[in-house]
Amino acid sequence: MFELIIGLEVHTQLNTKTKLFCNCKTSFGEKPNKNTCPVCIGLPGALPVLNKEAVIKAMTFGNAVNSTINNNSIFERKNYFYPDLPTGYQISQLEIPIVEFGEVIIKDKEKNDKVIRLNRAHLETDAGKNIHGSDNSLVDLNRSGIPLLEIVTEPDFRSSEEVTSYLKQLHSIVKYINISDANMQEGSFRCDVNVSIRPKGDKKLYTRCEIKNLNSFKFIEKAIAYEYQRQVEAWEDGVYEEEVFQETRLFDTTNFVTKSMRSKEEAMDYRYFPDPDLKEVTLTKDMYEKAKELPELPREKYIRYKNELEIPELEIERLIQSPILNKIFEEIIEKDKKERIKPAISILMVELPNILKEYSTELLISNISIKQIKDLIDNIVKEVISMGAIKKVLPYLLKNNTISPIKKTSIILKDTISNKECEEELKVKDVLGELNLLQISDENELSNYIEEVLNKEKEKVEEYKNGKEKLFGSFVGKIMKATQGKGNPQIINKILKQKLKG
């Protein structure tokens, strides 16, 4: 039996407005080579100037994961040749990174807490992008010089499930502290996976292979599974030393196999040396103060939601996955409105996504406001409407609203939503009246509907009284249909039980 040993290097693109050492924009999707200048395309004599914002963002990450922040750090040149690296070197940090150590707590296979140790997090420049055609290759240098924070772990992972748990936690952290959009599809959150094996009980670390630039959880899991099996088979066949050596491999996303890319270079092969154009980085008191400004982090939210709000764990994971969705949830439930939690989760996690998908739109560009969702939930809590009414109200709002606070992310990220921002949108109470959705809670009126249904179902009523209690749900369904979905389910259940006893 063999044990899987994994360490990770995650490259997170920092969401600064300009690149790490020049004033070129970092915007994605621009015309090729538009966001370039003499510095990032490596023209002789061009001098780099460090982006202070990128340094503060790296420090903020260090504080979020309980790291040591080095007051003095050094930038070095990592020398290698590749067409997308016009300078002939990458500016990085080797000897003294800005952030060292730290930890991220994940859930292992048994859902127990496990500490993943961080080795370091250092700043470096991204390379450009090679675009390969059938008979030529092109280079886009828009990405060249964009600031990356490379987050390196110790080899603490023992399964692909732990890797996924860590990456999801890390993904949430960098988004909550607003240092990266962490968009995996655009390459702003990508992962290199170092994989090795050893016989169970052995403490020695054997040869590791690095799998480069994985940008989806699915591909990461499949790449690890294949590489583990490849190394195990080589060991069992007695050819481990010949077939498993320190190298960089790529993952074939079509055939789900790893393929050799190049032999793994050691640090000495890159000829690292301090960048002569950059001074030692010295942090100021003001930078330390700004880097301490942290929101409530995902793990803190997880503990609070579980212990104080008593939300089920699976729903907590979904609620804290997106900072924007979580902000909307917090805005809806407020601090003292616990009765809103259950309907809020149902609307945000189930009803609204289904309807938005049907209308081919997303929450942030839809025209349903937080205030309207709050009003809907309050009407549900007060039993003015049933949850079933949501299926009619939300599409109506999507079609007929004229303005919406949700359209602007900046509004969501405020502490409150002002009345002025909501004053022109449809009032929920008017929509409920327009759609004739107000719930029937009058016991006498509901009793008449129940009598009508039971008179039509006399045979089944007898079957129920003779022990076929499963028919109760069928009666409720027919009564709700008779009330056009407007009957109060709790009151219907209470009256129906009384009548079936008689």
DSSP for 149-215 reads EEEEE-S-B-SHHHHHHHHHHHHHHHHHTTS----TTTTSEEEEEEEEEEETT-------EEEEEE-
User: Does residue 438 contact residue 432 with C-beta atoms inside 8 Å?
Assistant: yes
CA 270 vs. chain centroid, Å, equals 34
Predicted local distance difference test score (pLDDT) of residue 420: 47
Q: What is the pLDDT of residue 366?
A: 66
The whole-number pLDDT of residue 409 equals: 40
Q: List the chain pLDDT tens, one digit each, 502 residues.
A: 899 999 999 999 999 999 999 999 999 889 999 999 999 998 999 999 999 999 999 999 999 999 999 999 999 999 988 889 999 999 999 999 999 999 999 988 777 889 999 999 999 999 999 888 888 899 999 999 999 999 999 999 999 999 999 999 999 999 999 999 999 888 899 999 999 999 999 999 999 999 988 888 899 999 999 999 999 999 998 998 888 888 889 999 889 999 988 776 666 778 999 999 999 999 999 999 999 999 999 999 999 999 999 999 889 988 998 888 898 899 888 877 889 999 999 998 888 888 888 777 666 656 788 888 899 999 988 888 888 888 888 888 888 876 554 544 433 434 444 444 544 568 888 888 888 888 888 888 889 999 998 888 888 888 888 888 888 988 889 998 888 878 888 889 889 888 888 6
Specify the 3-state DSSP secondary structure of 24: coil
The Cα-based distances of 93 to 75, 77, 349 in angstroms read: 5, 8, 42
Give the closest residue to 50 by CA, choosing from 181, 151, 147: 147
| Token pair recorded at residue 277 | 């154009």
Alpha helices in 15-108 (DSSP H): 52-64
DSSP 426: P
234-272 exposure pattern, b = at least 16 Cβ within 10 A, e = fewer: bbeeeebeeebeebbbbbeeeeeebeeeeebeeeeebeb
- The span from the CA of 362 to the CA of 344, in Å, is 17
3-state SS string over 295-352?
Answer: CCCHHHHHHHHHHCCCCCHHHHHHHHHCHHHHHHHHHHHCCCCHHHHHHHHHHHHHHH
- Nearest CA to 366 among 407, 422, 332, 425? 407
Structure confidence at residue 215 (pLDDT):
82
Dist CA 502 CA 499 (whole Å) = 5
Q: What is the pLDDT of residue 186?
A: 86
pLDDT at 67: 97
The domain locations on the chain are: 8-192+267-290, 298-434, 443-501
| CA–CA separation, 104 and 477 (whole Å) | 49
pLDDT of the residue at 352: 85
d(CA 357, CA 351): 10
487: tokens are 């009957």
Which CATH code fits 443-501?
1.10.10.410
Residue-level pLDDT at 267? 64
Cα end-to-end distance, the chain, whole Å: 67
pLDDT, position 424: 55
Q: What is the pLDDT of residue 172?
A: 94
CB of 304 closer than 8 Å to CB of 156 = no
429: amino acid identity, one letter: K
Residues 13 and 119: beta-carbon distance below 8 Å: no
